[in-house]
Amino acid sequence: MTEILTHAQIWAALDALGERHGLTASGLARKAGLDPTTFNRSKRKTAGGHQRWPSTESIAKVLRATGASLDEFMALVASKSKRAARNARPLIGLAEAGAGGFFDDAGFATGTGWDEIDFLADADEHSYALEISGDSMAPLYRDGDVVIVSPSAPVRRGDRVVVKTTAGEILAKELKRQTARTIELRSLNPAYPDRALAKDEVSWMARILWASQ
């Protein structure tokens, strides 16, 4: 039976090749002489939700830059194909996540418009991936990093969390304190202020389990 290469398999193979060389998606693009955002997960779909595939020229440049052969790359594609069903997690950019339709009232992934990421670390069945954008979480999380988030994991003081407000704002911070009426959040980047939110201003809060650093 002939197998058809999928959008997710090709991108997962590129990510895996980068990981072999200790490179993020942005680092891999830079090493190949491409714009640093070329391989960012937010660029893997158009604004209209259509899949955007890496060009053969981009893949050729990556292979030259890393010294990998085409056979090695295709072996990664095949490997990702075998593991995709077990390890795939929904993925969306943090900037997009504030829009409606991606989460239910408890913060669980729902609806359409999600991409997928091949994820190997342990996580519960309700976990999903968010791609960081901007510098508000630097230096801990950088632009293009991916965090795995679980809305069902217990949250304690000192945990890093993602919070969605009723106004649609998405925040990634550290839980400083939680009372019956308020949630206090410590900013990960000292250039940005801490936040204190009333409980009725918070739609949901989910714990960050893992980051692709």
Confidence (pLDDT) at 86: 47
| pLDDT class of 49 with cuts at 50, 70, 90 | low
What domains lie within the chain, and their CATH numbers? 7-87 (1.10.260.40), 89-211 (2.10.109.10)
For residue 21, the model assigns a pLDDT of 87
Are 110 and 97 within 8 A, CB to CB? no
Distance between CA atoms of residues 128 and 95, nearest Å: 15
The token pair at 30 is 């830079």
Q: What percent of the chain has pLDDT over 70?
A: 88
Dump pLDDT digits (tens) for 76-132. Answer: 887 755 544 445 678 888 878 887 778 888 888 877 677 777 665 556 777 888 988
Quote the pTM value.
0.59
Q: What percent of the chain has pLDDT over 90?
A: 32
Average pLDDT, the chain: 84
Residue 213 banded pLDDT, cuts 50, 70, 90: low
pLDDT at 11: 86
| Tens of pLDDT, residues 148-175 | 899 988 999 999 999 999 998 888 899 9
Q: Of 66, 81, 14, which is closest to residue 43 (Cα–Cα)?
A: 14
SS3 state of residue 176 = strand
Q: Are 61 and 70 in contact (CB under 8 A)?
A: no
Is the pLDDT confidence value at 62 over 90? yes
